[in-house]
Chains A and B, each alone.
Chain A
Amino acid sequence: MLLEIEDVSLLYGRIQALHGISLTVDEGEIVALIGANGAGKSTTMRAISGIRPIATGSIKFAGEDISKLRADLRVRRGLCQAPEGRGIFPGMTVLENLDMGAYTRRDKAGIAQDLARVLDLFPRLAERRKQAGGTLSGGEQQMLAVGRALMSRPKLLLLDEPSMGLAPMLIQQIFTIITEINQQGTTILLVEQNAQQALARAHRAYVLETGRIVKSGTGADLLHDPSVKEAYLGVA
């Protein structure tokens, strides 16, 4: 297992946002985490990347217990997250943002290679390379966040709602790219409210409800599960 989360709880002050979550991600997989607004999806991501400390449980990455490891060191171990929403650096240009993605790396040749790859995956970013991140459209910012995370050449890429607020055509496009990134060899943990697309693309998926995992299975299984259909796919 590349990522193993066991019985993780997390508190925001006195509010408990996660109640003993367990999930695993195997090398090469796309795993989706779906759930309604406020279910705790972003919180799970924060726990994994280490920007919020967990209260109980353990997080193992590539066999190592990283539960107490500092966030920046987790990036060096090969974990990188594209944060939710406006998580790019607004005052930096597109290229500077991408460069920040490679902050932990020193191999110039490898970085140049990955930059070429990212600009190839996202031609829109290539066109706007000198533009400030904050002046990009919502969709372009999402792409930038994903591209920036790729620049760290992660073993596991964490994506928090990459399709949020995008037009249907762009959603299609970004999911195609996610599949492509995965086929190029990056393992992906994907958080989505857009359950339809996420389940269709994911090998396996978990359903999160008020801080608890209530269901798990292959993407296809959950896509056809009646209760999931009712709650998350808008089918009565």
Chain B
Amino acid sequence: MTTTVNPPTPEQQEGIGVRLRHGREAVANRWHHAPRWVRWVLLAAVIVFFYALPNKEFYQYLGPIPTPGANFTQVLFTVSIYVLLAVGLNIVVGFAGLLDLGYFGFFAVGAYTVAVLTSPSSNIKTLWPWLLVVPIAIALTMVSGVMLGTPTLRLRGDYLALVTLGFAEMIRIAAVSSDFLKGQRGFNQIPHPPGKYADGKPFFGVLDARPYYWLVLTLIILVVIGVRNLTHSRVGRAWISIREDEDAAQLMGVPTFKFKLWAFASGAAIAGLAGALFAGKQNFVNSQNFELLNSIIILAAVIFGGSGNIVGAIVGGGLVAYMIERFRGIELFGVELYEYRFLFFGLVLVVMMIFRPQGLIPNRRRAAEFKDRRKEVIVGE
């Protein structure tokens, strides 16, 4: 039996694909063979670069990189939130291989938890400080992840995708229509994170987005270190085995349900954290912040970057969020490109899926898995 969808043969893929691949492989090789100290120095330089990036004194020399149509530091904050979300979703999709189409729903749970418990517009008027509510938001998102995952992760196939999609939509509809979640009017005066300068001015203010960006950047670094350690442990091995072949994983004694639930809940927790950060920065949360499209964008970003690879997820999340903002304020033949951002985005994805389905910076294993699937499709098993 042969299936109707034939992936491109290796021959069809030669050409640009090959040249790009060789270039990237050369870079990857040089990286892996560089002495340890060189890698540390480069990594430190990259980190310093991103900490320096939101300063006008620095980015004004970066040519076309700053966004013309929007405040660049605000854009950087948005991008950093997307990167954090991509890192979290990568655990679910990339490591454990679970298709979560409603990841943004957890972001909403995090943001709304903060809004409800801190804002004066909330019905319950607890008015708790932001910092106290962050762990509650994370815990609640984790709980909602476990509640959603427990019935669905036992099932095989596409149930999870459908249920998560439904979950995100449910949250959105609740946000739009329930009085408790305030719909379009939303929650205002959500408190900022704590901290003051020596002169008494708050560190996290209204106008300057830089401190929030630095906070998210720092948290991204911490989360990445945590995720890295996890993936190099027994937990990581279990996730990879589940992604590669769930039955085989079970046959080797991996409690697959438990580990899927763990991946799903840790991913949710990171989204909850991102939501709490977003609410603390925006000061205002309403139902327009949580469109379904956002879930799809993050998923696409993870796949685009190279699912299963932390660096890939960071690059994917960063690039996708940045590109969307970069289109703002650019006019071509009298139309603003921003209006067509998703068209471009779709085109790029289609091209990617044809020429480089494993993503920009794939994981070594993932690449082998893709080759293996391709073989299976051709053999038509």
A contact residues vs B (CB 8 Å cutoff): 49-51, 70-72, 75-76, 80-81, 83, 85-92, 96, 99-101, 103-104, 132-135, 148-149, 152
Cα–Cα, bound, A76→B381 (Å): 31
Q: What residues of A have a CB within 8 angstroms of the CB of B375 in the complex?
A: 134
CB-defined contacts of A89 to chain B, threshold 8 Å: 240-241, 244-245, 248
User: Given B238, B249, B364, B376, which contacts A91 in the complex, CB threshold below 8 Å?
Assistant: B364
* Residues of chain A within 8 A of B251, CB atoms compared: 49, 51, 71, 75, 80-81, 83, 87, 149
Q: Please measure, in the bound complex, the distance between the C-alpha atom of A95 and the C-alpha atom of B10, giving whole angstroms.
A: 28
Chain A residues, CB < 8 A from B248: 83, 87-89
Alpha-carbon separation in the docked complex, A99 to B252 (Å): 10
Report whether A87 and B369 are in contact in the complex, using a CB–CB cutoff of 8 Å: no
**Shortest Cβ-Cβ A-B pairs, 7 listed:** A91-B365, A75-B253, A134-B372, A90-B372, A104-B253, A132-B368, A91-B368
- Interface: B380 (CB within 8 A): no
Q: Is the CB of B252 within 8 A of A75?
A: yes
* CA of A149 to CA of B245, assembled, Å: 15
Size of chain B's interface in residues, with CB distance under 8 A?
A: 29
**Measured between C-beta atoms, what is the minimum distance from A77 to chain B in Å?**
10
Cβ-defined partner of A92 (8 Å) among B234, B244, B376: B244
Interface pair A72/B253, CB less than 8 Å apart: yes
The reply to whether A51 and B252 contact each other, CB–CB distance below 8 Å, is: no
Instruction: Return chain B residues, CB-CB under 8 Å to A99.
Output: 237
A-B contact pairs, 15 of them (CB 8 A): A80-B252, A81-B251, A83-B247, A83-B248, A86-B372, A86-B376, A86-B381, A87-B251, A88-B248, A90-B245, A92-B240, A96-B237, A103-B253, A132-B365, A149-B251
A78 to chain B, nearest CB (A): 11
The answer to whether A135 and B368 have CB atoms under 8 Å apart is yes
Expressed in whole angstroms, the Cα–Cα distance for A36 and B303 within the complex equals 42
Chain B residues with CB under 8 Å of A134's CB are 368-369, 371-372, 375
A91 to B242, CA, bound (A): 12
A88 to chain B, nearest CB (A): 7
User: CA of A51 to CA of B246 in the docked complex: distance in angstroms?
Assistant: 10
- Cβ contacts under 8 Å, A132 to chain B: 364-365, 368
Closest to A90 in B: B372
List, in ascending order, chain B residues with CB within 8 A of A49's CB. Answer: 250-251
Q: Which residues of B contact A87 (CB under 8 A)?
A: 245, 247-248, 251
**A104 surroundings in chain B (CB, below 8 A):** 252-253
**Per-position 1/0 for B226-239, Cβ under 8 A of A:** 00000000100110
When C-beta atoms are compared, the residue in chain A nearest to B367 turns out to be A91
Q: How far is the CB of A59 from chain B (nearest CB, A)?
A: 15
Task: Determine if B371 and A72 form an interchain contact, defined as CB atoms under 8 angstroms apart.
Answer: no
Question: Which among B238, B252, B376 is the interface contact of A148 at CB below 8 angstroms?
Answer: B252
Residues of A contacting B182 in the complex (Cβ-Cβ under 8 angstroms): none
Question: Cβ of A80: which chain B residues have Cβ within 8 Å of it?
Answer: 251-253
Bound-state CA distance A4–B366 (Å) is 40
One of B237, B247, B369, B381 near A103 (C-beta < 8 A): B237
Nearest opposing residue in chain B for A84, CB measure:
B247
Complex Cα spacing A104 to B256, Å:
13
Asked if B255 is at the interface (CB within 8 A of a chain A CB), the reply is yes
Q: Once the chains are docked, how many angstroms separate the CA of A70 from the CA of B154?
A: 12
CB nearest neighbor in A for B259: A72
| Known interface pairs A83-B247, A103-B241; 14 further A-B residue pairs with C-beta atoms within 8 A, sorted by A's residue number | A51-B251, A71-B250, A72-B256, A83-B251, A86-B372, A90-B368, A90-B371, A91-B244, A91-B363, A100-B249, A100-B252, A133-B368, A135-B371, A152-B253
B142 within 8 A of A: no
Report which residue of A50, A81, A132, A134 has the largest number of chain B beta carbons within 10 angstroms of its beta carbon.
A134
Give complex CA distance A175, B301 in Å: 48
Answer yes or no: B254 CB below 8 A from chain A CBs. Answer: yes
Q: How far is the CA of A134 from the CA of B245 in the complex (A)?
A: 12
> Residue-by-residue, is B343-369 near A (CB-CB < 8 Å gives 1, otherwise 0)?
000000000000000000001111111
Structural contact, A91 and B253, CB atoms closer than 8 A:
no
Which residues of B have CB within 8 Å of A51? Answer: 247, 250-251
Find the B residue at minimum CB distance from A75. B253
Q: Tell me if B252 and A92 are in contact (CB < 8 A).
A: no
Partner of B253, one of A76, A86, A92, A96: A76
Query: Are B241 and A100 interface neighbours, CB within 8 A?
Result: yes
Which residues of chain B have C-beta atoms less than 8 A from A83's C-beta? 247-248, 251
Question: Separation in Å of the B308 CB from the closest CB of chain A?
Answer: 9
Contact between A103 and B252, CB atoms less than 8 A apart = yes
Whether A72 touches B245, Cβ cut-off 8 Å, given contacts A103-B237, A132-B368, A135-B368, is no
Residues of chain A contacted by B241 (CB below 8 angstroms): 89, 92, 100, 103
What is the CA–CA distance of A88 and B240 in the complex, to the nearest angstrom?
Answer: 12
Smallest Cβ distance from B40 to chain A, in angstroms? Answer: 26
- When the two chains form their complex, are residues B253 and A90 in contact, meaning their CB atoms are under 8 A apart? no
The docked-state distance in angstroms from the alpha carbon of A145 to that of B368 is: 17
In the bound complex, what is the Cα–Cα distance between A101 and B251 (angstroms)? 9
A70–B368 contact, CB under 8 A? no
With CB as the reference atom, state the residue of chain A lying closest to B244: A89
Whose C-beta in chain B lies nearest to the C-beta of A151?
Answer: B252
**Closest residue on chain A to residue B250 by CB atoms:** A71
A91-B366, A103-B237, A134-B369 as given contacts; A72 in contact with B255, CB under 8 Å? yes
Give the nearest-CB partner of B308 in chain A. A91
| Residues of chain B in range 195-241 having any CB-CB distance to chain A below 8 Å | 234, 237-238, 240-241
- Of the residues A50, A70, A91, contact of B240 by C-beta under 8 Å: A91
Residue in chain A with minimal CB distance to B365: A91
In the assembled complex, which residues on chain A have CB atoms less than 8 Å from the CB atom of B372? 86, 90-91, 134
Within 8 A of A (CB), among B84-137: none
